[in-house]
Chain A
Amino acid sequence: MPPISPDRVRAILEDLYALDPSLRAQGEDLARIVTELMAARPNVSVDAQFVASLRRNLQQRASSSTPQSSFLRFIPTFMQKPLNIILPLSGVAAIALVILVTVVNPNILQRSNTGTQNNNQNSALGSGVIITDAGANAFGNLAYSADGSASESALGSAVARSQSGGGGGNPMPSMPPMATDAKMAAPGYAEGSMIAPSDMTYERYRYVYKGDALTLDASATVYRRDKRPLGASGLSSALQSFNAGSIDLEKFGQAQLQQFTLIQPGQFGYQIYVDLNEGMVNVSENWATWPHPEAECRDDACYERLRIRPEDVPADDALIAVADAFLNEHGISKEAYGTPVVDRRWNTIMPMYRGEAAADTALRIYVPDTISLTYPIMIDGVTSYDQSGFPYGLSVSVDVRNKRVRGVWNLSPQSYQSSRYDAVTDEAQILDMASRGDMYSQPFGSDPNEKIVDVEIGTPERVLVQAYRTNEAGQGEELLVPALRFPVIGGADPAKGGRDSIVIPLVKDLLNPPFYLMKGMGGSGTAPAMPVATPTAAPAPEPAIDPAVR
């Protein structure tokens, strides 16, 4: 600690004397006090590595906040044909897109004129993952969900969202349909096993761990997607002054453009849904411009003739090649994603029909005409999954009949905030949850009709599991939470609810949510259940009518 300058002390005291001259009488004591208080200041300097690291984070943030046109730059690649725009305003449609495209990317006019594409210069979309350290516990309690529950919702799988239609009222769902009939693709779905008579025994898998001892850390890094608005302010202002037919948009005052849909006409056209607030883009077929021969069918023979058969589905390599070509053509970078995985879960219904006549089986197997594949989000070399254990990230659906990409889903800038959270270090707790298949299933033995069937699970890999929650402000947030993914060894029949992998998150907030956030307050996981009042005999309800009358 350098010596305290008497001049400095004197200057400090002179300020006080100017305010109250009588203090001069205590000058000697006050000088001593000030001197010593200053001398007691901790002698600390900021770590140079930390300064450099934070500076890098800020620079990354700055670069990722540069104009939205970099993210939306791929849109002009659809511009070989004219596009229309549909705004989320009733009655406002079919505005020529020329203005829009001029705002998004002034170069498009030149490109359209030349008719050439330079996709190498068009690769900003989705390029790389940007991580910004937000400090410890920066996202609040991860179990929080605005509906008052800790969230099964939060960890609801992409599959579940897809089944329920997802999308929260958006014109297009934020998640892809994994198959034309989503329920058929849901893991464990089996017609006839979903609604079992209550008095029948059923098989329930118990996943028994046979792997190595788990290595568990005391803390884990959670990632929250940074939903930085795409911020098409120029786009918004341009449209604001645009008189769309009979509606003068200027009359909407300060209205901000939040979502819009671009419609590409012509055969095999697309529609591009852009949510500027959510920072999300989805591409899907423009249904009216794609052939749908089955729509013309009037009898079963026609359906049967057009039905997709298992052997019609291309091999994984072929499907991936179609998807890769589309992404490359439209300048959508795969840098932030890992190797794509083709969703073959539709095929898992086949074992249901084992033992039945082959002909009958062939008739009853449903093969979707669209196959999805997912490019999983990769952060620091760790792969992201949904809670069902299927890769989570950029999803591309391929039309089996036409061997064309039908849609691209979950396309967003891969920018995240990271934060350290306490992790679960109790191996027994993790393995207990894994044995049930997930965090929410009841303990074994709670249903007398269940017949337990043991299946082995092996040493897990470290992954990230996608979670979704509503924060205190009522805004949806997407999290990627460290988790263990246990492979199921030896086969658990999907027709009976069997899984091929089990994913258990590692963050304490999710495994041990506070009781007031627990779903139904009933005691999922190992968190303490709410006390239940001793049941008392309730009086029998009054019969609505005299039983004797019946």
Chain B
Amino acid sequence: MARERAQNPAMATEQQTQIHTQDDAHNAFAAVYDAHVGQIYRYHYYRTRHRETAEDLTSQTFLKAFEHFGRFDAARASAATWLYRIARNTLIDHFRVSRPSTSIEETGETLSSGEDVARTAETNRTLEQVETILNRLTPDQREVVLLRLWDDLPYAEIAQLTDKSEAACKMTFSRALTEIRKHAGPAALLILLTLILN
């Protein structure tokens, strides 16, 4: 991830310390958009499993980001972290409205809200099995696992995103894996092994 950013010229916008004019700001935002729109879309898609919903949430994320770009402080967080934070809040708001009976802490379970007709039966089966495993975790654990393994975020960014320390995030991730291994036990490993062999 870090290497990817270093190679991406758009990332240079994060290093800008001064934006002198409104045009500068718009150009900087355009660069941030180009660099991160794919990541933010995937973040929403992984959690909603619905293409149109993910697009809606991505739109909302960037519209909010645009409105508040003046407040973005590159010295405090990377543009990616800032965008992920907005995306996370947008997702929470989305589930507040669309699934009022679901607590915010349960948003990690949204993997199960599969609606996308495009996914294949094979993908469906794989995801159901992974969901079975992830559902054994606490919401915090699920969130960290997904941010680390699917969104490919480093612990430093996960920490900023979730308001935890890096060590706490690592501990949460570690416990999540241990939970899967210990409590799900052989059954989970069998599922995983099956998936690997397939």
| Interface membership of chain B positions 55-95, coded 1 if the CB is closer than 8 angstroms to chain A and 0 otherwise | 11111101100100000000000000000000000000000
B195 beta carbon closer than 8 Å to chain A: yes
Complex alpha-carbon distance, A389 and B19, angstroms: 48
Beta-carbon contact of A62 and B29 below 8 Å: yes
B38 beta carbon closer than 8 Å to chain A: yes
| Residues on the A chain within 8 Å of B51, using CB | 44, 47
If A16-B173, A19-B171, A40-B130 touch, does A46 touch B41 (CB 8 Å cutoff)? Answer: yes
Beta-carbon contact of B174 and A16 below 8 Å: yes
| Interface membership of chain A positions 325-364, coded 1 if the CB is closer than 8 angstroms to chain B and 0 otherwise | 0000000000000000000000000000000000000000
Complex alpha-carbon distance, A247 and B46, angstroms: 60
If A58-B30, A132-B63 touch, does A46 touch B46 (CB 8 Å cutoff)? Answer: no
Segment among A48-56, A77-85, A117-125 that sits at the interface with chain B: A48-56
| Residues on the B chain within 8 Å of A300, using CB | none
If A42-B46, A58-B29 touch, does A134 touch B63 (CB 8 Å cutoff)? Answer: yes
If A26-B181, A42-B123, A54-B59 touch, does A32 touch B66 (CB 8 Å cutoff)? Answer: no
A133 beta carbon closer than 8 Å to chain B: yes
| Residues on the B chain within 8 Å of A45, using CB | 38, 42
Taking CB atoms and an 8 Å cut-off, the chain A residues in 14-33 that contact chain B are 15-16, 19-20, 23, 26, 29-30, 32-33
Taking CB atoms and an 8 Å cut-off, the chain A residues in 413-453 that contact chain B are none
**Nearest CB on B from A55, distance (A):** 6
If A19-B170, A29-B189 touch, does A58 touch B63 (CB 8 Å cutoff)? Answer: yes
| Residues on the A chain within 8 Å of B22, using CB | 65-67
If A36-B195, A42-B49, A58-B63 touch, does A16 touch B170 (CB 8 Å cutoff)? Answer: yes
Complex alpha-carbon distance, A464 and B79, angstroms: 39
A135 beta carbon closer than 8 Å to chain B: yes
Quick one: closest B residue to A17, CB to CB?
Answer: B174
Complex alpha-carbon distance, A133 and B55, angstroms: 11
A137 beta carbon closer than 8 Å to chain B: yes
If A26-B178, A58-B29 touch, does A32 touch B189 (CB 8 Å cutoff)? Answer: yes
| Interface membership of chain B positions 14-52, coded 1 if the CB is closer than 8 angstroms to chain A and 0 otherwise | 000000001000100110011001100110011001010
| Residues on the B chain within 8 Å of A15, using CB | 155, 170, 173
| Residues on the A chain within 8 Å of B187, using CB | none
Beta-carbon contact of B180 and A39 below 8 Å: no
Complex alpha-carbon distance, A136 and B98, angstroms: 11
Taking CB atoms and an 8 Å cut-off, the chain B residues in 111-142 that contact chain A are 119, 123, 126-127, 129-130, 133
Beta-carbon contact of B149 and A20 below 8 Å: no
If A15-B155, A58-B66 touch, does A20 touch B174 (CB 8 Å cutoff)? Answer: yes
**Nearest CB on B from A42, distance (A):** 6
Complex alpha-carbon distance, A133 and B66, angstroms: 13
A315 beta carbon closer than 8 Å to chain B: no
Residue count of chain A within 8 Å CB distance of chain B? 43
| Residues on the B chain within 8 Å of A29, using CB | 181, 189
Choice from B57, B178, B193 contacting A32 with Cβ under 8 Å: B193
| Residues on the A chain within 8 Å of B49, using CB | 42
| Interface membership of chain A positions 60-71, coded 1 if the CB is closer than 8 angstroms to chain B and 0 otherwise | 011001110000
**Nearest CB on A from B116, distance (A):** 9
B196 beta carbon closer than 8 Å to chain A: yes
Quick one: closest B residue to A58, CB to CB?
Answer: B66
Beta-carbon contact of B41 and A135 below 8 Å: no
If A20-B174, A42-B46, A44-B42 touch, does A34 touch B149 (CB 8 Å cutoff)? Answer: yes
| Interface membership of chain B positions 179-196, coded 1 if the CB is closer than 8 angstroms to chain A and 0 otherwise | 011000000110011011
Beta-carbon contact of A34 and B37 below 8 Å: no
Complex alpha-carbon distance, A57 and B65, angstroms: 13
| Residues on the B chain within 8 Å of A136, using CB | 56
Q: Is the interface of A mostly helix, strand, loop or mixed?
A: helix
Beta-carbon contact of A30 and B38 below 8 Å: no
Quick one: closest A residue to B52, CB to CB?
Answer: A136
Beta-carbon contact of A50 and B55 below 8 Å: yes
A37 beta carbon closer than 8 Å to chain B: yes
| Residues on the A chain within 8 Å of B150, using CB | 38, 41
A12 beta carbon closer than 8 Å to chain B: yes
Beta-carbon contact of A23 and B174 below 8 Å: yes
Quick one: closest B residue to A23, CB to CB?
Answer: B174
Quick one: closest B residue to A55, CB to CB?
Answer: B33
Beta-carbon contact of B126 and A40 below 8 Å: yes
Complex alpha-carbon distance, A32 and B133, angstroms: 14
B10 beta carbon closer than 8 Å to chain A: no
Complex alpha-carbon distance, A16 and B148, angstroms: 12
Beta-carbon contact of A37 and B130 below 8 Å: yes
Beta-carbon contact of A34 and B177 below 8 Å: yes
Beta-carbon contact of A33 and B192 below 8 Å: yes
Choice from B42, B170, B177, B193 contacting A46 with Cβ under 8 Å: B42
A35 beta carbon closer than 8 Å to chain B: yes
If A16-B170, A32-B189 touch, does A54 touch B37 (CB 8 Å cutoff)? Answer: yes
If A15-B170, A19-B171 touch, does A42 touch B127 (CB 8 Å cutoff)? Answer: yes
Beta-carbon contact of B59 and A61 below 8 Å: no
If A19-B171, A32-B192, A40-B130 touch, does A51 touch B37 (CB 8 Å cutoff)? Answer: yes
A138 beta carbon closer than 8 Å to chain B: yes
B97 beta carbon closer than 8 Å to chain A: yes
Beta-carbon contact of B33 and A30 below 8 Å: no
If A40-B126, A46-B42, A54-B58 touch, does A32 touch B29 (CB 8 Å cutoff)? Answer: no
Choice from B45, B62, B66 contacting A44 with Cβ under 8 Å: B45
Beta-carbon contact of B97 and A135 below 8 Å: no
B11 beta carbon closer than 8 Å to chain A: no
Most buried by B among A38, A42, A61: A42
| Residues on the A chain within 8 Å of B123, using CB | 42
| Residues on the B chain within 8 Å of A50, using CB | 41, 55, 58
List 9 tightest A-B contacts by C-beta distance, closest first.
Answer: A135-B56, A46-B41, A40-B130, A36-B192, A62-B26, A41-B150, A16-B174, A135-B60, A46-B38
Pull 8 A–B residue pairs with CB atoms less than 8 Å apart, ordered by A. A19-B167, A32-B192, A40-B127, A44-B42, A55-B30, A62-B29, A135-B59, A138-B60
Beyond known contacts A34-B149, A58-B30, A65-B22: 7 more, CB 8 A cutoff: A19-B174, A36-B195, A37-B133, A44-B51, A46-B42, A55-B37, A58-B33
Partner-B contacts on A (CB < 8 A): 12, 15-16, 19-20, 23, 26, 29-30, 32-42, 44-47, 50-51, 54-55, 57-59, 61-62, 65-67, 132-138
